[in-house]
Homo-oligomer: A and B are copies of this chain.
Amino acid sequence: MYSIGDLSRHTGVKVPTIRFYEEKGLLPKPARTAGNQRRYDAAALRRLQFIRHTRDLGLPLAEVEALLTLEGAQGDDLNRAHDIAERQLADIRDRIARLARLEKELARITKACDGHHDHVCAVLHAFGDHDTCDGAH
């Protein structure tokens, strides 16, 4: 049996966050000691690790919950898990592409300023000036 602090140390999820997950129904309500403190079993630990991992992968809690209900699923439900993963992959690729565009533009902006801090900084101008952007956003 683990205390909430044990669970936190094992998973890297902070104590208040574990309680938050319980409140949201992502973790089942655990057993309690006579003094009302939470005590978890190995299944709870695995479940929390699953949540941690999927959150790290960027899935919103609603999708994490959807995946959790698919545990032990069969047939079409399995495809659903697959779909969630693929959707998330597409989303991440999209985010990477957009960030790459922003990177390019910020690099341009910082370079615009290097060397000549005389009177008016080009950074401020470049930040305000959307027209000179390569990428559209």
Q: Does residue A107 face the partner (Cβ distance < 8 Å to B)?
A: yes
Residues of B within 8 A of A129 (CB): 53
Q: A56-B102, A57-B102 are in contact. Are A124 and B88 (CB under 8 A)?
A: no
The closest CB in chain B to the CB of A88 belongs to: B106
A103 to B90, CA, bound (A): 9
Q: Does residue A82 face the partner (Cβ distance < 8 Å to B)?
A: yes
**Which of A13-21, A28-36, A115-123 participates in binding chain B?**
A115-123
Residues B85 and A113 in contact, CB atoms below 8 Å apart: yes
Q: Does residue A46 face the partner (Cβ distance < 8 Å to B)?
A: yes
The interface on chain A, measured as residues whose beta carbon lies within 8 A of the other chain's beta carbons, has a size of 51
A50 to B125, CA, bound (A): 9
Q: Does residue A61 face the partner (Cβ distance < 8 Å to B)?
A: no
Residues of B within 8 A of A73 (CB): 121, 124
Residues of B within 8 A of A88 (CB): 106
Q: A106-B57, A110-B86 are in contact. Are A79 and B117 (CB under 8 A)?
A: yes
16 contacts between A and B (CB under 8 A): A50-B127, A52-B130, A53-B129, A53-B130, A56-B137, A57-B105, A58-B102, A72-B120, A78-B123, A78-B124, A81-B123, A81-B127, A82-B114, A85-B127, A92-B102, A95-B99
